[in-house]
Amino acid sequence: MPKRTDIHTILLIGSGPIVIGQACEFDYSGTQAVKTLKALGYRVVLINSNPATIMTDPDFADRTYIEPITEEIIADIIKRESVDAILPTMGGQTALNVAMSMYEKGMLEGIEFLGAKPSAIKKGEDRQAFKEAMLKIGMDLPKSRYAYTEEEALEAAKEIGFPLIIRASFTLAGGGSGVAYNIDEFKAVAKNGLETSPINEILIEESLLGWKEYEMEVIRDKFDNCIIVCSIENLDPMGVHTGDSITIAPALTLTDKEYQRMRDASFKILREIGVDTGGSNVQFAINPKNGRMTVIEMNPRVSRSSALASKATGYPIAKVATMLAVGFSLDEIKNDITGTPASFEPSIDYIVTKIPRFTFEKFPQADSTLTTSMKSIGEVMAIGGSFKESLQKALCSLETGIFGLNQICNDLETIKKEIRRPNANRLLYIAEGFGLGMSIEEMHELCKIDKWFLHEIKEIVDSESSITSQILSDESLMRRIKSYGFSDKMIAHWLKHNDGMEISESEVYQARIGLGVECVYNEVDTCAAEFPSLTPYLYSTIGNFVSVGNSAFTQSFGEFENSLCGSPLRLASAEFSAQPQNLTQNPRIADSVNTECQDSSDMDSSNTENSSIVSEVRGLSKNCAETSLKGCRTSNSADSREIHHETNFSKVMIIGGGPNRIGQGIEFDYCCVHSSFALNDLGIKSIMYNCNPETVSTDYDTSDVLYFEPIDFERVRAVIEREKPDGIIVHFGGQTPLKLANSLTKINAKIIGTSAKVIDTAEDREKFASFVNNLGLKQPQNGIAYEKEQAYSVANKIGFPVLVRPSYVLGGRAMRIVYDDDELKQYMDEVIAVSDSSPVLIDKFLEYAIELDVDCISDGESVYIGGIMEHIEEAGIHSGDSASSLPTINIRESMLKEIEQSTAKIALKLGVVGLMNVQYAIYNNELYLIEVNPRASRTVPFVSKATGLPLAKIATRVMWNHSVKKAESKDSTLEEALRFYDKYQKVDFTQSPLKPKTLQYVCLKESVFPFTKLSGAELSLGPEMKSTGEVMGIGKSFGLSFAKSQLACKNALPLSGKVFLSLASLDKKEGVALANDFIKLGFSICATEGTYKILCENGIEASHILKVSEGRPNIIDRMMNNQIALAINTSDNLSNKDDTHLIRTQIIKGSIPYFTTLAAARVAIEAIRDIKKYNLSQAFSLQEYLES
């Protein structure tokens, strides 16, 4: 059937800010949905509060509302835009929950649900309704009971018996869930689950810990045509949230009979739940002892796993689901990659591995044990010809300092303990255990991971001893080792460990090339090469593979029967026999493998046995360096599917940012995508290089060619040599590609835009300090130290407090304010692990300074000031965590002029071509330069949305035109680019430097934090970044925009009630005026002893409240009884550390609006005034703001 014509305007609800469990995979899905609906001729209205998303660009939807995702605002939008239908299945749990709440309140009368009916959402999300539906169709479920009170929960626990799994209904990423082994743990988890569930419902079920977990991505159309897009297997057994588990596609340890049972069950479940126009994710568990299969849960929407399955297979689930939602059937939809109908089930002849990315180093107090509640921030995906290759490529993609199964520990007891405990590094401990001689049986007993996977990991470990000097001259051995996924860097490490060879990664690379052992590039085409592919989506592999249709899958790996594994059919690539290891000595432990490889000229080749081989390799290296961009040769044994894309067009390669993590997230992917779009506008072929399956950048149609590979020098170099691009962009993916700039320059790769030399000058503290002094700009007093004694000397010369940090890091990693020598000593002991041999930077900390961010673009001759943002929080809070306002609110005009002129001077003198971010501080009415980043910053999307000028697109156009000297008109390269993209006529071309016209509205960026997901994490802000995402508030006044930003990040400001004050000693005097302002607004005040005393002394009416340590009823009791409307807690007194932690923990648990800085609290007062003056629920589209 053709598309529906009875609906015209469709509202798509986005997922909001990036949080644990709901990341940029929903920008990927939502962007696909918006593009698809627009292409089909529908009028699309979008609501999403996240400015860092591609979907909120004003060019995508007809009307884009960057507004809080609340019922009242959505109702206003529906009325304003005459919406006919809503699509809530592309915005994660946020969209489903708000849509269902509105439906149940009768707020969506006459509005049709697309993708999934309310009844289907109810059945799929409500655990009681889901259980009843599954029993109706004869599905096996874990023994379970539902509870709505703590008393009912205790009854269920007695009936089922420990251990128990507790799951909350209608929550995100396992929120409110947990495992309980005893009654005390159960009471705590059950209470939290009841509080977390929006319908106060929890499911208590028998423990399936140790069972194998699988997922099926299913699509169904209205004619009951069903397909499985992809089967996914969790390497970690039940008990670890699937978002935190290592997962593999396709499922490798299922028998054909088990797979067919699961496939049939998935179809039955979708039919019963009522998902008849879209995609769903169904999760199963299988008891490895007896084969019992149970249903765990299903998501009646596009999910995190849907994005992974789409990238793993090349099948665009979100696009297909959107077309099904508006009337198409599967056989009417064409697969963009092959041109075949979408009703064909994808078939793949490679292995995909996803590994989650954690950032526990940011939250040392948090419990790092992995449970049923998700904790990871991002993920990577790798594709290989075997599980071994795929696994090691994924490990290299994580950017955690490892490049394979790195060494981590040499103590057997510690290793066993960590293997038993699910944690982010368990895979590395397993490898260590095998290195110490542990058996597969012993390992399985500890971790319950399937023996087949353990066998594969053990083979990788056993093969390490084969990496000797022979590998440099033995093509067969080199090919086998590389087919196992070993990076050149890891091979260099094992050559040093096994044979004492001092050899660099580059020398291994050249030796390998000399042997003809090179990667080949195959396509992800959904059909295992059965049909021709139209879109180049590529991955590398090494091996002797013959690919003929579906037979490639079994020919690549072979059939493997092993009594250890318990299944009759396995996929394996076993070539090395297991060698027994001495339990008393671990051969894997050697000198640190995290040491950066040196240049070949610095290598010590004193080992006489191997010196001739090293010399030969160096001779080859020298010869190859002269022509290093020769192009990648094709081995005679290469896969017959290897794809070559020759073109006469210019082409530019964009290196992405890798996995999401705190400090480097979706904002940088936004810039990479915009860069690709700008290259398309220029008629240039774009090559995207990334390893993040969640992102829009890795969508098959974002760029002309996509390489899904680890972002390391070895793999990037191979693609450069293969593609021979006319330019490479390293400035948009954050610190990840920037770190490659020098290495790429050494092999004569052409970086367009700001040069590697300029980047190094900005990043190197000594060089930059000299540069700034020559410009005559002020910087805080600073110094540099390479060792402890030098650090003490510098800090004491500058004077405490000082701000200390490593160089070449992002997100304020290991940045700290220290107040004396003891704190500095502790810091220096810790920092070595972060920055390797890089120096430590020491700056005078400017207390109470106002900080600002500036984003600008330069073409080397002129400068455009994209935006100047004023931080709400004062100095000491990382810029990525501070709220910020555009335009500025408290900065006088003369200071703004000085900022503009200083920024232009820096950009031109430094030699920046493209984007640059500058951070300033105003201290005692004087301007200080804090740092310069000659790249895209995380504020680029926010500034672009606020001003209507796409900074990354403009910068890309400038970088390309500058590199080829195309601008021959009287207009500068920069001016030409600005005019090309100035759709809303926002640029003031009369100013020097160029800048946008004054905005008639205020935009506020606010950060979102993961404290609710990371148990034990300290609710406090400082110089090290902790936020996972951001929201944007837009309003006619500063107060209104701040109020909207708080509403969007679920910190809604109250209009009345009791304000709790607990202030640090330095804040108490200022707290008097703050309390007085709250009283004038109709609030009452309560405070702990010290703050209460100061308030009383100044005539402020307040009530005294006990700290936790002082008795009952105390502040925690008041919070639990809903007697606190707003909490302001800036306490930093070490003697009250326990009290402060308990108070802040309860603030998070009770979802109480809070602020931890006085600066934010002051702004909150202004916002509350404006809420009372304006209608907070009245929404305006981004297009309306930009056109005003």
Express each pLDDT in 142-165 by its tens digit.
988 889 999 999 999 989 989 998
pLDDT of residue 575 exceeding 70: no
Structure tokens, 710: 């680890």
CA distance 1007 to 999: 22
What's CA 671's distance to the chain center, in Å? 15
Mean pLDDT for the stretch of residues 443-461: 97
How high is the pLDDT of residue 810?
57
The H-assigned helical ranges of 109-228 are 118-125, 127-136, 150-160, 183-196
Query: pTM score, two decimals?
Result: 0.90
Closest CA to 929 of 778, 783, 825: 778
Could you tell me the two tokens for 208?
Answer: 């399936």
Average pLDDT over residues 1073-1080: 96
Q: Which residues are annotated as a binding site for Mn(2+)?
A: 283, 297, 299, 919, 931, 933
Q: Report the pLDDT averaged over residues 366-393.
A: 94
Structure tokens at 467: 């990496």
Torsion sign over Cα 876, 879, 884, 890: positive
- pLDDT (mean) for 489-497: 96
Q: Is the pLDDT of residue 552 over 50?
A: no
Q: Which amino acid is at 119?
A: S
Closest CA to 285 of 277, 293, 297: 293
Binding site, annotated residues = 127, 167, 174, 206, 208, 213, 239-241, 283, 297, 299, 805, 844, 846, 851, 876-879, 919, 931, 933
Cβ contacts of residue 263 below 8 Å, gap of 6+? Answer: 216, 228
Q: β-strands 1002-1008, 884-886: how paired?
A: antiparallel
| For residues 650-663, average pLDDT | 96
The C-alpha atoms of residue 450 and residue 442 are separated, in whole angstroms, by: 12
- Evaluate if residue 550 carries a pLDDT over 90: no
Please answer whether residues 396 and 712 qualify as being in contact, where contact means their C-beta atoms are separated by less than 8 angstroms. Answer: yes
> Which of 793, 787, 791 is closest to 804 using CA atoms?
791
Token pair for residue 351?
A: 């292995």
Q: What value does the mean pLDDT take over residues 445-451?
A: 97
Residues 6+ apart with CB under 8 A from 554: 571
Query: Please, which pLDDT band fits residue 1132 given cuts at 50, 70 and 90?
Result: low
What is the residue-wise DSSP string for 268-290?
Answer: HHHHHHT--SEEEEEEEEE-TTT
Q: What is the pLDDT of residue 517?
A: 96
pLDDT at 81 over 60: yes
Measure the CA–CA gap between 961 and 920, rounded to whole angstroms. 30
Residue 387 pLDDT exceeds 90: yes
- Tell me the Cα Rg of the chain: 29
Tokens standing for residue 1006: 């606010």
How far is Cα 306 from Cα 301, in angstroms, rounded to an integer?
A: 9
Assess whether pLDDT exceeds 90 at residue 386: yes
618-629: average pLDDT: 40
Q: For 1126-1136, what is the mean pLDDT?
A: 73
Buried b (16+ CB within 10 A) or exposed e, 463-486: bbbbbebebbebeebbbbbbbbbb
Beta strand segments in 981-1047, E: 987-988, 995-996, 1002-1008, 1029-1035
Percent of the chain at pLDDT > 70 equals 88
With CA atoms as reference, report the closest residue to 574 among 754, 454, 465, 421.
454
Distance CA 631, CA 465 (A): 32
What local confidence, expressed as pLDDT, does residue 806 receive? Answer: 78
**Residue 1032's closest CA among 92, 56, 89, 78?**
56
pLDDT at 437: 96
Q: What are phi and psi of 987, to 5 degrees?
A: -85, 135
pLDDT score for 659: 97
Mind listing the pLDDT tens digit for each residue in 1038-1056? 999 999 999 999 999 999 9
Q: State percent of the chain over pLDDT 90.
A: 69
pLDDT (0 to 100) of residue 1148: 87
Residue type, 195: E
Closest CA to 213 of 526, 450, 505: 450
What integer is the mean pLDDT of 1154-1169? Answer: 95
* Coil/strand/helix, residue 864: strand
Domains of the chain: 9-122 (3.40.50.20), 143-207 (3.30.1490.20), 354-560+600-625 (1.10.1030.10), 651-752 (3.40.50.20), 781-807+817-845 (3.30.1490.20), 1054-1152 (3.40.50.1380)
Q: How far is CA 808 from CA 247, 552, 735, 739, 840, in A?
A: 32, 44, 8, 8, 10
Least trusted range by pLDDT, from 98-112, 671-685, 705-719, 821-835? 821-835
What integer pLDDT is reported at residue 595 of this predicted model? 36
pLDDT of residue 549: 31
Q: Residues comprising the binding site for Mg(2+)?
A: 283, 297, 299, 919, 931, 933
> CA distances (Å), 361 to each of 358, 661, 812, in order?
8, 11, 12
Calculate the alpha carbon distances from 1052 to 22, 424, 1154 in Å.
20, 34, 9
Distance CA 434, CA 588 (A): 10
In this predicted model, what pLDDT tens digit does every residue of 978-1018 receive, in sequence order? Answer: 999 999 999 999 999 999 999 999 999 999 999 888 877 87
pLDDT reported for residue 642 = 56
Average pLDDT estimate for 296-321: 92
Sign of CA dihedral 488, 493, 496, 499: negative
Nearest to 696 by CA among 52, 36, 28, 50: 28
Treating both helix axes as pointing N-terminal to C-terminal, what angle do 440-447 and 412-420 enclose, rounded to 10 degrees? 50
**Binding-site positions for ATP:** 127, 167, 174, 206, 208, 213, 239-241, 283, 297, 805, 844, 846, 851, 876-879, 919, 931
Name the pLDDT band for 588 (thresholds 50, 70, 90). Answer: low
Three state DSSP letters for 452-494 = HHHHHHHHHHHHHHHCCHHHHCCHHHHHHHHHCCCCHHHHHHH
pLDDT at residue 948 above 70? yes
